[in-house]
Amino acid sequence: MKGYIDLTGKTILITGAAGFIGSNLAKQLLITVDDIKVVGIDNMNDYYDVSLKEYRLKELNAYSNFRFIKGNIADKEEVKAIFDNYEPDIVVNLAAQAGVRYSIKNPEAYVESNLVGFFNILECCRHSYDEGKKGVQHFVYASSSSVYGSNKKVPYSTEDKVDNPVSLYAATKKSNELIAHAYSNLYGIPSTGLRFFTVYGPAGRPDMAYFSFTNKMVKGEKIQIFNQGDMYRDFTYIDDIITGVVKVMQKTPELTEDGVPYHVYNIGNNKPESLMYFVETLEKCLISEGIIEKQAEKEFLPMQPGDVYQTYADVDELVRDFGFKPGTSLEKGLRQYAKWYREFYSLINIRQVD
């Protein structure tokens, strides 16, 4: 296959390795690929409960071919040292300050990680070819469905114009795509951006609705439903995301009409679900697992700044180039999440009693 990369024996650098997607990607590679070496970097910040990141990291540290560096990709010298020491074949940049609403409260964090950090990684990719070295074979990075802003056309296609972000987070992700294109054009770095759509699943991010709703339900608190519940999201289960990322890693992008080794894909479930159906399904799964006894009390509120009415991924290009389409149903995915939540917090409660 043209542009195919055999991952066997390769060194993979994953930034944000203790994060939700990063840790799952690292684990999948370590389990399924022979003689692979995975190097992870994460600053372990406290944007959400660090114990969850430590839980993910503990699983990865069980593998002898995993190396972890606690560090910040905004630190240029630290990133350079990692490239010098490990000479990665493939770089997967997942480190970023996440969250749409938090970008309104703390914009500096987004500039540091999503712009300065992203630039540092690309600069090291660029210099990985110095002195005739083989260098980085593929740079894969996380973008976001947030770049589509309040786009009225659905489903969202990567061909759509995305020049009107409604949050700083979205603006930084669109900037990543533009910077990556410039570096691919100038230095021939094969780069692929992935616009993820509402990723969820076991050991996910506590700031995401399904997780924060669960925590409130367990405490018997009200949950806030924005835009009076009239919102739609293309929920994508973590296993589907990881399958997509691994497939993309193994195939460098074809040249654009201008001769640039660059492409962007959507990875979404291609099936937007209403917010109210999502809440009902979550409640059903949590009740089934004995986590809560009844449905939650709900408070209906207006749309939040930075939010969008719906997300809906056009994945035709993903299907065309990789023969893959995410397909895990919301009910199946939330059932797996509920099982994990019960087990994880049972263990925490047992430790606290001890």
The answer to whether residue 60 is domain-embedded is: yes
Alpha helices in 19-140 (DSSP H): 20-32, 50-61, 76-86, 102-105, 107-110, 118-127
The answer to whether residue 74 is domain-embedded is: yes
Encoding tokens for residue 138? 């593929």
pTM for this prediction: 0.95
Cβ neighbours for 323, distance < 8 A, ≥ 6 positions apart: none
Cβ neighbours for 315, distance < 8 A, ≥ 6 positions apart: 265, 266, 267, 268, 270, 325, 326
Q: List 92's β-bridge partners, or say none.
A: 14, 140
pLDDT at position 349, please?
53
Q: Would you name the residues annotated as active-site residues? A: 169
The answer to whether residue 90 is domain-embedded is: yes
Rounded to whole angstroms, the Cα distance separating 250 from 26 reads 15
DSSP 3-state of 242: helix
Say if residues 270 and 196 touch (Cβ distance below 8 Å).
no
The answer to whether residue 72 is domain-embedded is: yes
pLDDT at position 2, please?
73
- Going by C-alpha positions, the residue among 96, 175, 94, 82 that lies closest to residue 127 is 82
Rounded to whole angstroms, the Cα distance separating 4 from 252 reads 7
Q: Tally the domains of the chain.
A: 1
DSSP 3-state of 113: helix
CATH number at residue 106: 3.40.50.720
Rounded to whole angstroms, the Cα distance separating 262 from 248 reads 12
pLDDT at position 354, please?
34
pLDDT at position 351, please?
41
* Residue 249 per-residue DSSP state: H
Encoding tokens for residue 351? 């430790």
Cβ neighbours for 19, distance < 8 A, ≥ 6 positions apart: 42, 53, 56, 94, 95, 98, 205
DSSP 3-state of 91: strand
Place of tokens 């992700």: 173
Rounded to whole angstroms, the Cα distance separating 217 from 213 reads 6
The answer to whether residue 280 is domain-embedded is: no
The answer to whether residue 52 is domain-embedded is: yes
The answer to whether residue 168 is domain-embedded is: yes
In tens digits, the chain (354 residues) has pLDDT values of 578 999 999 999 999 999 999 999 999 999 999 999 999 999 999 999 999 999 999 999 999 999 999 999 999 999 999 999 999 999 999 999 988 888 888 999 999 999 999 999 999 999 999 999 999 999 999 999 999 998 889 899 999 999 989 899 999 999 999 999 999 999 999 999 999 999 999 999 999 999 999 999 999 999 999 999 999 999 999 999 999 999 999 999 999 999 999 999 999 999 999 999 999 999 999 999 999 999 999 999 999 887 888 999 999 999 999 999 999 999 999 999 999 999 998 765 544 433
Q: Which domain holds residue 107?
A: 11-199+237-268+312-327
Encoding tokens for residue 51? 């114990």
- Going by C-alpha positions, the residue among 183, 160, 182, 274 that lies closest to residue 228 is 274
The answer to whether residue 277 is domain-embedded is: no
- What b/e string do you get for 237-272 counting C-beta neighbours within 10 Å, with b at 16 or more? bbbbbbbbbbbbbbbbbeeeeeebbbbbbbbbbbbb
Q: From the CB of residue 297, how many other CB atoms can be counted at a distance below 10 Å?
A: 11
Say if residues 218 and 182 touch (Cβ distance below 8 Å).
no
